[in-house]
Amino acid sequence: MSCPSDPQDDPRPAPLGELDLDDVRVHRALRDATIRTLSHNIGYVRGWFFELLEQRYGREGFASVAKLDLDEDTLRAWFEDWVQRTIASDERFGRRWLAEMMETEAGRAAQALATRDKVAFGDWTRAFALGGRSEGGGHLPPPAQHVDGLGHADLPRGVETRAELLERVVADTAPLPDTAQREGYHGPRHFDFWMSGLEDYLAIESVLARHDAPLAAGARVLEMGCASGRVLRHFLFQRDDLEVWGCDINGGHVDWLGQHLPERTRIFQNTVLPSLPIPDASLDLVYAFSVFTHIDEFERSWIAELARVLAPGGFAYLTVHTEHTWSIVERAGALMSDLVRMRDQISDYDVGPELFAGPLPKDRTVFRWTSALSNNTSVFYSTRHIRRAWGTFLEIVEIIPEGAGYQDVVVLRKR
């Protein structure tokens, strides 16, 4: 359909993303909305600028360039120039980004482009979940076709021989997700991605065995925050007698898993709200890798919800940042660099080496910042808080320092 000169003169309802805008209006609306919506947040602009530098010059070059003390006027001028030159020159990219901004909360530009019968209030569901979608692509061959590094790989704990490791590789017949679906895990190192999931699966098995609670045939397992199945797939292919559930806040991951994992896998999208569509006392194990490290609200309610769905004697295996993580944060390179890079947007703390040299500021220390169109958090808990708050709902069996990389593991049991 053609777009009238003034959208409000057209009484017909139309989805915002389907408005047939001429190039001039697309470019103008995109430029104005982008500059107005983003350039007022100088911390975001600075972070984006550094990301582009890192992509262009690599980590070593980025380390030297990032030391530049760029004033706000310089950053704003660079950003506005980048928007006008780069985005406006790419019609397809411009239209796609404009549609995304119109679907969220892009400000007055989206309001002006709305029709009279469709209020442009933004997609409120994005406040509770991420709406990414998979269109059927984004996958690679199964792990058996990525075993070039098998001969040099260290055997994971719980695997005795390379022959046994190869058997585990061959047992997994599902495609691997491509790098865009991996939440940053291991980049193009496909076998390393698969192996890291196996190691975490075996670590869970080891903890359960140590507490005389191995998963029996027919046991029900849920991964909270399963992403594209890095760990989840091993509960499906290393065992064929478990009922495996997975959930993630990102709809794109849910779609991908639904397309590429066995049909018996029970996958659903959850939200930030502490509610799971699972009956009471029905699960034998719930595990979550790097999920509670990002829950800035409803943390206790989520623990209560896990207590609800776990059967008596059931276990939870949750990775967290604690005061121990805080003490080794300089070794946790990605965590440290993310916080330092976004320091201008983190208003509650002066992020830098001096902060991390001291003790954990609070029993529950939360860093919040905004990047692109999503909110980000990094949360640290004192073990005292975990024992006091989480122990109200579940028995704290043990807390394992660096049980999952630089994160600690909290092992809990339903009484």
264 and 378 part of one domain: yes
- Count the Cβ atoms, other than its own, within 10 Å of residue 165: 18
User: Which class for 220: exposed (0-12), middle (13-18), buried (19 or more C-beta within 10 A)?
Assistant: buried
Q: CA-to-CA distance for 147 and 160, rounded, in angstroms?
A: 18
pLDDT score at 326:
94
133 in a structural domain: no
**With 70 as the cut, is the pLDDT of residue 226 above it?**
yes
106 in a structural domain: yes
User: Which class for 140: exposed (0-12), middle (13-18), buried (19 or more C-beta within 10 A)?
Assistant: middle
CATH number at residue 401: 3.40.50.150
Amino acid at 159: V
**With 90 as the cut, is the pLDDT of residue 282 above it?**
yes
pLDDT score at 43:
55
Lookup result for tokens 């399963």: 226
Instruction: Give this prediction's pTM.
Output: 0.69
Asked if 227 and 249 touch (Cβ cutoff 8 Å), the reply is: no
117 and 149 part of one domain: no
- Tokens standing for 338? 């993310």
Q: Domain end: 97, 122, 147, which one?
A: 122
Over residues 251-279, the mean pLDDT reads 92
The pLDDT-based confidence of 143 (bands split at 50, 70, 90) is: confident
**With 50 as the cut, is the pLDDT of residue 221 above it?**
yes
The pLDDT-based confidence of 113 (bands split at 50, 70, 90) is: very low
The pLDDT-based confidence of 3 (bands split at 50, 70, 90) is: very low
163 and 42 part of one domain: no
> In this predicted structure, which of 172-176, 234-238, 289-293 has the lowest mean pLDDT?
172-176
pLDDT score at 151:
62
Task: Report CA Rg, the chain.
Answer: 24
Over residues 268-280, the mean pLDDT reads 92
> In this predicted structure, which of 20-24, 91-95, 233-237 has the lowest mean pLDDT?
20-24
- Count the Cβ atoms, other than its own, within 10 Å of residue 204: 23
pLDDT score at 347:
76
Q: CA-to-CA distance for 47 and 348, rounded, in angstroms?
A: 18
User: Which class for 144: exposed (0-12), middle (13-18), buried (19 or more C-beta within 10 A)?
Assistant: middle
Domain containing 163 equals 139-413
Beta bridge partners of 26: none
Over residues 204-209, the mean pLDDT reads 98
356 in a structural domain: yes
128 in a structural domain: no
pLDDT score at 152:
65
398 in a structural domain: yes
Over residues 223-247, the mean pLDDT reads 96
324 and 403 part of one domain: yes
> In this predicted structure, which of 16-20, 200-204, 265-269 has the lowest mean pLDDT?
16-20
Over residues 4-27, the mean pLDDT reads 43
134 in a structural domain: no
Tell me phi and psi for residue 59, to 5 degrees: -65, -40
95 in a structural domain: yes
34 and 144 part of one domain: no
Q: CA-to-CA distance for 13 and 28, rounded, in angstroms?
A: 23
**With 60 as the cut, is the pLDDT of residue 14 above it?**
no
162 and 294 part of one domain: yes
Asked if 268 and 224 touch (Cβ cutoff 8 Å), the reply is: no
pLDDT in tens, 305-345: 999 999 999 999 999 999 999 999 877 767 777 787 777 77
pLDDT score at 91:
55
103 and 154 part of one domain: no
pLDDT in tens, 347-367: 788 888 889 889 999 999 999
Q: CA-to-CA distance for 380 and 324, rounded, in angstroms?
A: 10
Q: What is the maximal distance between C-alpha atoms in the chain?
A: 73
283 and 258 part of one domain: yes
- Count the Cβ atoms, other than its own, within 10 Å of residue 396: 15
113 and 154 part of one domain: no
Over residues 218-227, the mean pLDDT reads 97
User: Which class for 237: exposed (0-12), middle (13-18), buried (19 or more C-beta within 10 A)?
Assistant: buried
Q: CA-to-CA distance for 189 and 150, rounded, in angstroms?
A: 12
How many domains, the chain? 2
- What string of H, E and C letters represents the secondary structure of the chain? CCCCCCHHHCCCCCCHHHCCCCHHHHHHHHHHHHHHHHCCCHHHHHHHHHHHHHHHHHHHHHHHHCCCCCCHHHHHHHHHHHHHHHHCCCHHHHHHHHHHHHHCCCCHHHHHHCCCCCCCCCCHHHHCCECCCCCCCCEECCHHHHHHHCCCCCCCCCCCCHHHHHHHHHHCCCCEECHHHCCCCCCCCHHHHHHHHHHHHHHHHHHHHHCCCCCCCCCEEEEECCCCCCCHHHHHHCCCCCEEEEEECEHHHHHHHHHHCCCCCEEEECCCCCCCCCCCCCEEEEEECCCCCCCCCCHHHHHHHHHHHEEEEEEEEEEEECHHHHHCCCCCHHHHHHHHHCHHHCCCCCCCHHHHHCCCCCCEEEEEEEECCEEEEEEEECHHHHHHHHHHCCEEEEEEEEEECCEEEEEEECC
Pairing type for strands 407-413 and 310-320 reads antiparallel
78 and 200 part of one domain: no
Over residues 189-202, the mean pLDDT reads 91
Q: CA-to-CA distance for 280 and 95, rounded, in angstroms?
A: 46
pLDDT score at 211:
98
Closest CA to 215 of 313, 290, 332: 313
Listed in sequence order, the residues at least 6 apart from 151 whose beta carbon sits closer than 8 Å to its beta carbon are 162
**With 70 as the cut, is the pLDDT of residue 139 above it?**
yes
**With 90 as the cut, is the pLDDT of residue 84 above it?**
no
131 in a structural domain: no
Q: Report the percentage of the chain scoring pLDDT > 70.
A: 62
pLDDT in tens, 52-71: 555 555 555 545 554 555 56
> In this predicted structure, which of 15-29, 223-237, 256-270 has the lowest mean pLDDT?
15-29
pLDDT score at 34:
56
255 and 328 part of one domain: yes
- Mean pLDDT score of the chain: 77
104 and 202 part of one domain: no
Q: Domain end: 122, 151, 168, which one?
A: 122
The pLDDT-based confidence of 135 (bands split at 50, 70, 90) is: very low
pLDDT score at 54:
57
- Tokens standing for 395? 């028995």
